[in-house]
């Protein structure tokens, strides 16, 4: 019997509808025509819409899809919130707490280390269904050392929930996460959590979000009671009061607004309408004309303003006490965009990286970004965000960054560390593939287009440790572990110290490197000896200096001859590039084929400055003249000439050492403020801010990283265990003259040894 292509079969042949699965299935005729082809399932809505030629088959399924991330400062309740979302959407059947006291731990913290420490280390992906909408969720870490996990999650998401603590308010990492959301232009909702805690004040947090994060925001809910009297929420859009009954708050009961709250509800609803009117013309017109504003009008206006990133609706609740999570899920469906409402751009490699807007539909050619790698039980697991087209199991896809053609052996959807095999995934979905060799940030297509997605920004590591395995026999496993972690985490770097021969690992902070050493121990059964933490200093120059160097060597046969002349100078402050080389030779004093070798020589020389052997940055090297020999000149001769020329002029350019400065935020009880501030001064820190928050003082300071080692223990002893701090990299800045002399003499002594 002749087979028909799937596309040639009219959709009207899908006649049998199952009320149980809410799916259409093909009539016997269709099944015969399809032969052994896999039958595509259409939902009731899709078939009805498919009859209307204007609306493609995928439109409704795309509109019912949300990709969201949950981000916040440490301990604001991200993982607890995700746990409740999974419970209410039926993905898990019992709730476990983050600290894992019951021996189970939260679903999204699948690593043993995460459960023990009660922190999220890796972002975890999952999906769930709420009111016939599919929601893909990525739970991200709050600790600044794992900032790359937040970066890569936000890079591929369409919307986000920024969780704020009703007691702690807007903290340092909240500001960092918000900055990352702005960088990737992610529309967001804010969720003020922990309203059941002592000292909860959502209105103070809302004002902080407006002042510190510059959010144009307003509350869409008002809490009924606070602290131990927190009972429920009033929805300002629908004008309904919601209470959460049942052992886990699973029964949401809608009632009329309590009479004693009419005044505050009217005031807060008017504030909401005013704030949205400022950024939405349609609502502004109704508001100025004093027209009655219905719930539908207000909801649509909030949705338009949120998707346009002009407004941030603020939700409230307590995830731990199971209150306010279901209305937040409704808010995700109502106010955050579906994949086709977001603009995504690719770079066309055939047209000199011209920006191309992706329609984001399943009809186009496949474009997918590998945003995260993980070593799973069955080999490398690559997380993909599909931006356009459809990816199927067994398809051939092309890695545009390497040019390799690869077959998709297995396609899965992730639920934390569990996976579910699927046959295909279309634009807008987040899936994972097995056995595909690639790097984080690679773009895959079906081969018909050469598009690459812009990659995420990766911060430079600020701290290094020397590590080596205890026993020589475990060297193989040790290398395997380091290679795997490097592939998974772009902020984790591994290098070799040329002088000592030690393996050096670099990362974003003490905790970051400690976690990796611990993972080598647990996952690869390799005990490692860890050296003293080493700060990643840099060197730079402060003035113009000229060079004129002739490299000449004669030994039987062809000799070496190369002369380079020019100057070095510092790049202007704030320059995005660290090294610049310019060839200003007029004529052919040096043949053009030797110029790349000269540049390579200067780059190599700048890898280690003569002060303390650290890389030199923020320099501009200009080549103005040179000389060559018809026989003796070679690429090697010019490369060596460049290296020696750099060393010759380096000391004349007044080099200085740069050290990483950290932005440290401390929260300490006011009684210890003087002691802590004195200690910061002793550590050569500069206090740049001091705020009062209830009984606590919030001190912001810029402190050199080398003076911050072991600070957490010191802070605990100074504040009787009540102080806490966070720090993140701010910049590299010059050290004082006495510190520079000390560092140089230490370096010389080490070299002599």
Q: pLDDT tens-digit profile of 263-294? A: 999 999 989 999 999 988 888 888 888 888 88
Non-local CB neighbours of 589 within 8 Å, separated by 6+ positions:
625, 626, 627, 628
Higher pLDDT, 447 or 332: 332
- For residue 245, say whether it is annotated as part of any ligand binding site: no
Higher pLDDT, 32 or 366: 366
Predicted local confidence at residue 94, as pLDDT: 77
SS3 state of residue 134: strand
Region of residue 286 (phi > 0: left; psi between -120 and 50: alpha; otherwise: beta): alpha
Mean pLDDT of 689-707: 85
Sole residue written with tokens 């000391």:
651
Predicted local confidence at residue 523, as pLDDT: 82
Query: Are residues 427 and 339 in contact, defined by beta-carbon separation less than 8 angstroms?
Result: yes
Mean pLDDT of 598-616: 89
- For residue 79, say whether it is annotated as part of any ligand binding site: yes
Predicted local confidence at residue 417, as pLDDT: 65
SS3 state of residue 327: helix
pLDDT at 206 over 90: yes
Predicted local confidence at residue 593, as pLDDT: 87
Q: How far is CA 581 from CA 280, 562, 576, 594, in A?
A: 49, 18, 14, 14
Sole residue written with tokens 């042949």:
13
Residue 589 burial (CB < 10 Å; 0-12/13-18/19+)?
Answer: middle
Query: Are residues 156 and 430 in contact, defined by beta-carbon separation less than 8 angstroms?
Result: yes
From the CB of residue 686, how many other CB atoms can be counted at a distance below 10 Å?
12
Q: pLDDT tens-digit profile of 420-432? A: 888 888 888 888 8
Work out the angle between the directed axes of helices 325-335 and 78-88 (0-180°, nearest 10): 90
Long-range contacts of 332-335 (CB under 8 A, 24+ apart): 332/66, 332/68, 332/130, 332/135, 332/159, 332/161, 332/189, 333/66, 333/130, 333/131, 333/133, 334/299, 334/302, 334/303, 335/189, 335/302, 335/303, 335/306, 335/307
- For residue 158, say whether it is annotated as part of any ligand binding site: no
Q: pLDDT tens-digit profile of 281-333? A: 888 888 888 888 888 889 999 999 999 999 999 999 998 888 889 999 999 99
- Residue-wise DSSP of 144-210: GGGHHHHHHHHHH-SEEEEEEETTTBS-HHHHHHHHHHHHTT--EEEEEE-TTSTT--HHHHHHHHH
Non-local CB neighbours of 392 within 8 Å, separated by 6+ positions:
408, 411, 423, 424
- For residue 96, say whether it is annotated as part of any ligand binding site: no
Average pLDDT, the chain: 80
- For residue 132, say whether it is annotated as part of any ligand binding site: no
- For residue 690, say whether it is annotated as part of any ligand binding site: no
Pairing of strands 133-139, 124-130: antiparallel
HSE-up of residue 525 (Cα within 13 Å, Cβ side): 2
- For residue 73, say whether it is annotated as part of any ligand binding site: yes
Percent of the chain at pLDDT exceeding 90? 16
> For residue 94, what are its two tokens?
């019992």
- For residue 54, say whether it is annotated as part of any ligand binding site: no
- For residue 52, say whether it is annotated as part of any ligand binding site: no
pLDDT at 610 over 50: yes
- For residue 178, say whether it is annotated as part of any ligand binding site: no
Query: Are residues 455 and 70 in contact, defined by beta-carbon separation less than 8 angstroms?
Result: no
Q: For 141-150, 416-425, 671-680, which range has the lowest pLDDT when averaged over its residues? A: 141-150
**Bridge partners, residue 465, by sequence:** 505
Confidence grade of residue 726 (pLDDT, cut at 50, 70, 90): confident
- For residue 76, say whether it is annotated as part of any ligand binding site: yes
Sign of the CA dihedral with 615 first, then 618, 619, and 620 last: positive
Q: What is the C-alpha to C-alpha distance for residues 661 and 682, in angstroms, rounded to an integer? A: 15
DSSP code for 323: B
Q: For 56-65, 103-112, 533-542, 593-602, which range has the lowest pLDDT when averaged over its residues? A: 103-112
Percent of the chain at pLDDT exceeding 70? 86
Domains of the chain (ranges; CATH) run 58-258+314-335 (3.40.50.300), 344-452 (2.40.30.10), 469-529 (3.30.70.870), 538-653 (3.30.230.10), 658-748 (3.30.70.240)
């Amino acid at each position: 019997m002749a087979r028909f292509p799937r596309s040639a079969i009219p959709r009207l042949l899908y006649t049998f509808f199952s009320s149980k699965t809410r799916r259409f299935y093909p009539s016997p005729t269709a099944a015969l025509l399809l032969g052994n082809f896999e039958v595509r399932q259409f939902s009731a809505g899709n078939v009805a819409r498919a009859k209307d030629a204007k609306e493609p088959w995928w439109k409704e399924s795309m509109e019912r899809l949300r990709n969201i991330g949950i981000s916040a400062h440490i301990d604001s309740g991200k993982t607890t919130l995700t746990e409740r979302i999974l419970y209410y959407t039926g993905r898990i059947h019992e709730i476990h707490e983050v600290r894992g006291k019951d021996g189970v731990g939260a679903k999204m913290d699948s690593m043993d280390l995460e459960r023990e420490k009660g922190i999220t280390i890796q972002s975890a992906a999952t999906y769930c269904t709420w009111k016939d909408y599919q929601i893909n969720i990525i739970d991200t870490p709050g600790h600044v050392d794992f900032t790359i996990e937040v970066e890569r999650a936000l890079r591929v998401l369409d919307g986000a929930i920024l969780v704020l603590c009703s007691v702690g308010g807007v903290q340092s990492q909240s500001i960092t996460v918000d900055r990352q959301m702005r960088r990737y232009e992610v529309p967001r909702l804010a969720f003020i959590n922990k309203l059941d805690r002592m000292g909860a004040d959502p209105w103070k947090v809302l004002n902080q979000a407006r002042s510190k994060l510059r959010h144009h925001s307003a509350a869409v809910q008002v809490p009924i009671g606070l602290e131990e009297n927190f009972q429920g929420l009033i929805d300002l859009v629908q004008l309904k009061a919601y209470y959460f009954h049942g052992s886990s708050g699973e029964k949401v009961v809608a009632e009329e607004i309590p009479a004693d709250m009419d005044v505050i509800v009217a005031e807060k609803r008017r504030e909401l309408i005013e704030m949205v009117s400022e950024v939405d013309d349609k609502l502004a017109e109704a508001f100025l004309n004093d027209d009655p504003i219905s719930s539908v009008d207000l909801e649509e206006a909030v949705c338009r303003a949120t998707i346009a990133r002009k407004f941030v609706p603020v939700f409230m609740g307590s995830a731990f006490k199971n209150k306010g999570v279901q209305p937040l899920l409704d808010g995700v469906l109502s106010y955050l965009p579906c994949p086709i409402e977001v603009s995504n751009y690719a770079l066309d490699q055939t047209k000199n990286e011209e920006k191309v807007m992706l329609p984001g539909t399943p009809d186009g050619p496949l474009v997918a970004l590998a945003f995260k790698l993980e070593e799973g039980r069955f080999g490398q697991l690559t997380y993909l965000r599909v931006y356009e087209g459809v990816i199927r199991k067994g398809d051939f896809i092309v890695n545009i960054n390497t040019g390799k053609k690869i077959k998709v052996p297995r396609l899965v959807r992730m639920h934390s560390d569990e996976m579910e095999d699927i046959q295909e995934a279309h634009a807008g979905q987040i899936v994972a593939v097995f056995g595909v060799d690639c790097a984080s940030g690679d773009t895959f297509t079906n081969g018909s287009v050469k598009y690459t997605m812009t990659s995420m920004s990766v911060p430079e590591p600020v701290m290094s440790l020397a590590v080596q395995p205890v026993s020589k026999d475990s060297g193989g496993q040790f290398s395997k572990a380091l290679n795997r972690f490097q592939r998974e985490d772009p902020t984790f770097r591994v290098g070799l110290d040329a002088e000592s021969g030690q393996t050096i690992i670099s990362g974003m902070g003490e905790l970051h490197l400690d976690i990796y050493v611990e993972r080598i121990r647990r996952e690869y059964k390799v005990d490692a000896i860890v050296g003293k933490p080493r700060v990643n200093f840099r060197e730079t120059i402060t003035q113009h200096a000229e060079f004129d160097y002739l490299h000449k060597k004669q030994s039987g046969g062809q000799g070496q001859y190369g002369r380079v002349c020019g100057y070095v100078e510092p790049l202007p402050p704030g320059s995005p590039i660290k090294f610049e080389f310019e060839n200003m030779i007029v004529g052919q004093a040096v043949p053009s084929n030797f110029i790349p070798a000269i540049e390579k020589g200067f780059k190599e020389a700048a890898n280690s400055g003569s002060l303390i052997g650290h890389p030199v940055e923020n320099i501009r090297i200009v080549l103005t003249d040179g000389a060559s020999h018809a026989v003796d000149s070679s690429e090697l001769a010019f490369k060596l000439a460049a290296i020696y020329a750099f060393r010759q002029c380096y000391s004349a350019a007044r080099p200085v050492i740069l050290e990483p400065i950290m932005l440290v935020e401390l929260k300490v009880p006011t009684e210890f403020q003087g002691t802590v501030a004195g200690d910061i001064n002793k550590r050569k820190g500069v206090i740049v801010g001091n705020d009062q928050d209830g009984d606590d003082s919030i001190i912001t300071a810029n402190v050199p990283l080398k003076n911050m080692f072991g600070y957490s223990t010191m802070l605990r002893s100074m504040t009787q265990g009540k102080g806490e701090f966070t720090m993140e990299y701010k910049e590299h800045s010059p050290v004082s003259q006495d510190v520079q002399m000390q560092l140089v003499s230490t370096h010389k002594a080490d070299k002599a040894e």
